């Protein structure tokens, strides 16, 4: 399915460190299609929902203050197997365990400052996209590169 979607976010450290362009470029150059993007300062309530599975973790309060520390670039990227491939482009949760060539492996050191987020399953991607975006913020268009990227739709 070339219309699978994932939620990718550039966290406050990624924005402050001037990594918006390089992070977007990795998804663009791979051939994925950008279908939504905004610079936002999400509420604590939204972030508590976004990270609800981690609410019991000792690092949860620190994670929330990190995510509230500045604007975030929220995006939806579309393409074949984009959820799993997006995670591969990001690298491991702990940047020190991320291979060079991945975003976290190239730009981060600390797990609590790992510059980007990506959905970990198709089901969670759907939930996260619905949490961060209204339906009318998601664009539908034919990517001019489509026929050069995919052998078959
Ligand atoms: P992800 O899906 O790779 O982002 O990882 P998780 O969903 O497990 O965790 C969400 C975010 O919480 C991570 O990206 C980190 O920013 C943060 N996090 C995860 N584990 C730790 C930890 O052990 N310590 C700290 N300080 N932050 C963590
Ligand atoms: Mg996660």
Determine whether 28 is exposed, middle or buried from the number of CB atoms within 10 Å of its CB (0-12, 13-18, 19+).
Answer: middle
Q: How confident is the model at residue 152 (pLDDT cuts 50, 70, 90)?
A: confident
pLDDT of residue 2: 82
Decide if 149 is inside a domain. no
Cα(113) to centroid of ligand 1, in Å? 9
The single residue listed with the structure tokens 């990718």 is 8
Nearest to residue 54, comparing CAs of 70, 37, 36, 66? 66
Number of structural domains in the chain? 1
CATH value at residue 80: 3.30.70.141
Q: How confident is the model at residue 1 (pLDDT cuts 50, 70, 90)?
A: confident
- Binding residues, by number, are 11, 59, 87, 93, 104, 114
Decide if 144 is inside a domain. no
Decide if 68 is inside a domain. yes
Quick one: which ligand is closest to 11's CA? 1
- pLDDT surpassing 90 at residue 44: yes
pLDDT of residue 143: 93
What is the span of the domain harbouring residue 38? 5-137
Decide if 153 is inside a domain. no
Decide if 88 is inside a domain. yes
> Where would I find the H helices in 12-116?
12-16, 20-30, 44-50, 60-67, 82-90, 103-107
């Amino acid at each position: 399915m070339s219309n699978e979607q994932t939620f990718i976010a550039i966290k406050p450290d990624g924005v402050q460190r001037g990594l918006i362009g390089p992070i977007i470029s990795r998804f663009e150059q791979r051939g994925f299609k950008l279908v939504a993007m905004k610079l936002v300062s999400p509420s604590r309530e939204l972030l508590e929902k976004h990270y609800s599975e981690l609410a019991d973790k000792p690092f949860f309060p620190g994670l929330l203050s990190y995510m509230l520390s500045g604007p975030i670039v929220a995006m939806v990227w579309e393409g074949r197997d984009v959820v799993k491939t997006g995670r591969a482009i990001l690298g491991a949760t702990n940047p020190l365990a991320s291979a060079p060539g991945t975003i976290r492996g190239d730009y981060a050191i600390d797990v609590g400052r790992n510059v980007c987020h990506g959905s970990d399953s198709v089901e969670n991607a759907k939930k996260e996209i619905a949490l961060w975006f209204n339906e009318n913020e998601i664009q539908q268009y034919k990517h001019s590169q489509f026929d050069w990227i995919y052998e078959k739709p």
